[in-house]
Structure 1
Amino acid sequence: MPAFSLEPSQTARCAQLRALAAERLRPLAEKGEPGHVNRPLIAELGRLGLLERLFTSGALDLCLMRESLAYACTEAETALALQGLGAHPVHAHGTPAQRDRWLPAVSEGSAVAAFALSEPGAGSDAAALGLRAERDPGSSADPPAQPVAVPDGASRWRLTGEKCWISNAPEADFYTVFARTTPGAGARGVTAFLVPADRPGLTGGALDMLSPHPIGTLAFDAVPVSADDVLGEVDRGFRVAMGTLNLFRPSVGAFAVGMAQAALDATLAHTAQRDAFGGKLRDLQSVAHTVAEMALRTDAARLMVYAAATAYDEDAPDVPKRAAMAKLLATETAQYVVDTAVQLHGARALQRGHLLEHLYREVRAPRIYEGASEVQRGIIAKELYANPAVR
């Protein structure tokens, strides 16, 4: 299927999702407390079967879901995306026991997942992680000085350090945590662990952010983990992280496209109705040309997102480059479109409760999380020089 062409069934599904988001999800989102996990909203996503689709759909379907939900209810979109981001490593790299324990609960919306990669000193440079996974005395040749309560498993570690700007923290039920198991090894010495929230020594706090998402910190004070908690292989956790991000980066772009389209549609309606200078706003050439530019950029970003998602689904060789391009173009475009929509609406768009006021607060973060725009440019350049023949 060409990346720029959707089948009628896909188009119909997107329309259905937009309607469901407006009718059933937005009311629950409005009842939620900003900055905290909205469990009724997540449960409704489960009842609608959307969370289960995180594990049965391809990248393009994920993008279509995120774009459709973002258009009508950004909180529902974010809740869905965070469940996928936190649980995808379990789906892709977990043991049968790990999958059986957590994925059904994530799918039904009764368990909240989180992806714990960023740290106070390691945001964009994920390979510089400082959270330490140190061998527990109980797994060495020497007997432990005192009994250590850890899960069964031949290898045992203690996690010590911090995570910061973690979505759904500290209210998630489990975390996909990336920690350094081999000092000085860079990306090659990181391991992914599945850490339930009730592990001793794990605490956290909420952060008050510009966007209304639940985001917080995590503190690890000798948190016990074992071989049974490893996702993938020891010292290969960076692959788990990058594989997850390659899937979700295009869909971050889809989130941005959904917001851009909502802002564009609001602007079309406003400029067609607003009286100004003896006519409608749309009659001013400067306004009409600006709206045309907004539409042009939104459609271009959408096509880039669909192309990157299709490349992922087809296991193309240039997925990292396409994923970075899609996220970069779409998030930068959404920032432009939403900001321009605010300008064309005037002061009314700055009032609390206005759609554009909400989108203005929402649209800024995607240019930073899951790799800032500057990081995406670095990835693109690296891939271009490493694989100049791949187009």
Structure 2
Amino acid sequence: MRSPTQHLALPFFDEAHRALGERLADWAPQQSVDESDDRRACKEWVALLGTHGWLRYCVPAEHGGALERLDSRALVILRETLAFHSPLADFAFAMQGLGSGAITLAGTPAQQAAYLPAVARGAKIAAFALSEPDAGSDAGAMKTEATRADPARATGTFDAYTLNGTKTWISNGGIADFYCVFAKTDVAAGTRGITAFIVDAATGGLDTSEHIAVMAPHPLATLKFDQCTIPASAQLGALNGGFKLAMQTLDIFRASVAGAALGMARRALAEAVSHAKQRRMFGQTLADFQLTQARLGEMAALVDAAALLTYRAAWLRDEGEKHGGVRVTTEAAMAKMTATENAQRVIDMALQLHGGLGVKVGMKVESLYRDIRSLRIYEGATEVQQLIIGKSVLQG
């Protein structure tokens, strides 16, 4: 099934975006990966996406990327189209961008050269390690610490940090080649005491063996740092500037989460339409019933409402980059909240239209029903997006 591309005619997109969308819509249906083992499948998707050049949209051109800078509209198109076909392919693509995004934004030239070209080729798998057992939405509550190794007595300088603590719900945990890790360097300073670091997977003192099984298979793990020593050169961005860096990274990719939800909703609508036209009952097709038509109309409106907010957020972010990087936190929150919540409703209605077949394992609407649920939680739960939007409204 080819993903729809009519929406690319909207004025949010330019000709380069439209061409990207059409190429990907032609390419994606031809790809097939056995997803029974999510870890193996994710690696295969990364390799496939890298070989065919799609991962080049995760990094800027100077480091092997397809475009001069990260482009939110391109990310939305890619995630929407990939999620239409395979949410796991979308996941593999998204984590290459999110996991390396902080390096794109704040990495030294040496760090960028060491990691970004490999991310673009699919040669290195990236991961973003922010959440902890008791610090998800409240990042300031994190307990993972990074302490400076004993300074050289003669000079007072230091050449290493030691990490101790636990990160959890880490996407690509256990299969990533490196992790962008956020840790406290000033324990008493809350969010103002967090610093980012690049930690290679083979670093001593890092244990990624505790995998997390979830309802829609994705490679997740808990990371444990026990006297994990990394060089001072692994510091990513400014000392104690990690929280701001994490939020800037999430801002870029939050609209793309909405794009993924949108792709799943479009697929559910397409499956519902196809089923309604074919399923016969009481001497006519399911599509002939007015109740079915009304339900499909509601689903289509929910999809389009989410699409407009998603494309607006991505367009505003790209336009803002031309004028010094104007933040679009509120608009991205609206897009993420609406697209994920609407997609949940659309997929639920699609499953209901399928009747008993909807809950049969192996049916597309059944897998979509499991896949969509996590999107309402990760990268900022719906309730967090509501708070962001509400505060913005109160501030005028």
- Superposition TM-score, scaled by structure 1 size: 0.91
- Name structure 2 gaps, 5 residues minimum: 1-7, 60-66
Which of residues 41, 46, 59 in structure 2 aligns to 1:42?
Answer: 46
State the Cα deviation string for residues 63-99 of structure 1 (Å, max 9, x = none): 0111111111222111000111101111111111111
Name the stretch that deviates more: 193-202 or 308-317.
308-317
The letter of the residue matching 1:291 is L
State the distance in 1 between where 2:272 and 2:18 align: 23
Moved over 6 A (4+): none
Residue 116 (structure 1) aligned to one of 114, 129, 143:
129
1:149: which partner in 2?
none
Shift of 1:3: 6.9
Matched, 1:267 2:267: no
Letter in 1 for 2:250: L
CA distance in 2, matches of 1:362, 1:330: 14
Q: Would the aligned equivalents of 1:21 and 1:76 in 2 still touch at CA under 8 Å?
A: no
Kindly provide the amino acid, as one letter, of the partner of residue 359 in structure 1.
L
Preserved CA contact (<8 Å) 2:128 2:171: yes
Q: Against the structure 1 CA distance between its residues 374 and 165, is the aligned structure 2 distance closer, same or farther, given a 3 Å change threshold?
A: same
Q: Partners of 2:36 and 2:22 in 1: how far apart?
A: 25
Quickly say closer, same or farther: Cα 1:3–1:134, change in 2 above 3 A. farther
Q: What residue number does 1:370 align with?
A: 379
Residue 16 of structure 1 pairs with residue 23 of structure 2 = yes
CA distance in 2, matches of 1:142, 1:293: 72
The equivalent residue for 1:147 is none
Q: 2:110 aligns with which of 97, 112, 128?
A: 97
* Residue number among 361, 367, 371 corresponding to 1:358 in the alignment: 367
1:47-78 CA-to-partner distances (Å, cap 9, x unmatched) read 11111111234111110111111111222111
**Correspondence list, 1:3-152, <5 A:** 4-7=11-14, 10-24=17-31, 27-28=32-33, 30=34, 33-36=37-40, 38-55=42-59, 56=67, 57-137=70-150, 139=151, 141=153
3-state SS of 2:174 partner: coil
**Superposed CA RMSD:** 2.1
* Pairing 1:159–2:163 present: yes
Q: Structure 2: which amino acid aligns with 1:331? A: T
Aligned residue-pair number? 375
Pick from 211, 214, 223: which aligns with 1:206?
Answer: 211
After superposition, where does 1:133-282 map in structure 2 within 5 Å? 133-137=146-150, 139=151, 141=153, 154-204=158-208, 205-282=210-287
Show CA shifts across 1:248-269 (max 9, x none): 1100000000000000011011
Taking structure 2 as the reference length, what is the TM-score of the superposition? 0.90
How far 1:12 moved relative to its partner?
A: 4.3
Equivalent positions of 1:375-390 (< 5 A) are 375-386=384-395, 388=396
**Amino acid across the alignment from 1:313:** D
Gapped regions of structure 1 (runs ≥ 5)? 145-152
1:133-171 deviations in Å (ceiling 9; x for gaps): 12222x264999xxxxxxxx8453211010000000022
Matched to 2:188, the amino acid is G
Cα distance in 1, alignment partners of residues 40 and 128 from structure 2? 16
The CA distance in 1 between the partners of 2:225 and 2:306, in whole Å, is: 39
Partner amino acid, structure 1, of 2:216: S
1:287 corresponds to: 292
Matched position secondary structure for 1:314: helix
Matched residue type, 1:190 = I
